[in-house]
Amino acid sequence: MIKYFFLLAIFIDLGFSFLTSAYAQSATEYVHLGNVSGRQEKYKQAILDYSKAINLDPKLANAYYNRGYVYIEIRKYKLAIADLDKAIEIKPDYAAAYHLRGVAHFLKKKYTQAISDYSKAIGLEPENIKFYDSRLGAYFKLGNNDKAWEDVIKIQQLGGAVNPAIINLLKNKKYRD
């Protein structure tokens, strides 16, 4: 009996995503398969699955979002931004898409654009600590320490923690006590 479960586990682990991709029919099924492939760092397969989902349902914002995430993972920031633009076009209140597009801009060293996207995400979800933390990093990169400090305070007000090294750097740069 144990041998049977062990073999079943191996079968599921090795073959499930392949077998299910052959039988997937809906856009949401392909998004799920893309998520599985992405978690397994099978990025080419994830992109194919998300693309199939988009072909089946071009208005599925999370398929563009997820494919954008994978493009960031493989450092194809221009493609990521294009997909995130599309996700936002479809769903203008998609805070996570603004945030992720900000991440892509940040990684391209376009900090002003990153701040703009992070701020839009914050406007949609003002309690999301991750959004403030990301914006803090972009302000810091631009040398806008006053704005970075405002985000430190907001993160702490929301119950979050900021890396003490960042706080010390900001204090030293502004001679704060």
Question: Is 174's pLDDT higher than 80?
Answer: no
pTM for the whole structure: 0.83
Residue 170 pLDDT: 86
User: CA quadruple 101, 102, 103, 106: dihedral positive or negative?
Assistant: positive
Residue 9 pLDDT: 37
Interval 125-167: pLDDT, tens: 999 999 999 999 999 999 999 999 999 999 999 999 999 988 8
Residue 22 pLDDT: 53
Interval 35-90: pLDDT, tens: 999 999 999 999 999 999 999 999 999 999 999 999 999 999 999 999 999 999 99
To which residue do tokens 């979800």 refer? 125
Select the more confidently predicted residue: 23 or 48. 48
Residue 17 pLDDT: 44
Pair of tokens at residue 161: 């923690």
Q: What are the DSSP calls for the chain, one per residue?
A: -HHHHHHHHHHHHHHHHHHHHHH--SHHHHHHHHHHHHHTT-HHHHHHHHHHHHHH-TT-HHHHHHHHHHHHHTT-HHHHHHHHHHHHHH-TT-HHHHHHHHHHHHHTT-HHHHHHHHHHHHHH-TT-HHHHHHHHHHHHHHT-HHHHHHHHHHHHHTT----HHHHHHHHHHHT--
Interval 97-108: pLDDT, tens: 999 999 999 999
d(Cα 89, Cα 154) in Å, to the nearest integer?
Answer: 29
In terms of Cβ atoms closer than 10 Å to its own Cβ (0-12, 13-18, 19+), residue 142 is middle
Q: Tell me how far CA of residue 15 lies from CA of 20, 26, 40, in angstroms.
A: 8, 20, 13
- Percent residues over pLDDT 70 in the chain: 84
Would you say 105 and 81 are in contact if contact means Cβ atoms under 8 Å apart? yes
Q: Among 97, 96, 94, which residue's Cα sits nearest to residue 81? A: 97
Residues in contact with 128: Cβ distance below 8 Å, sequence separation at least 6, in sequence order: 95, 99, 121, 122
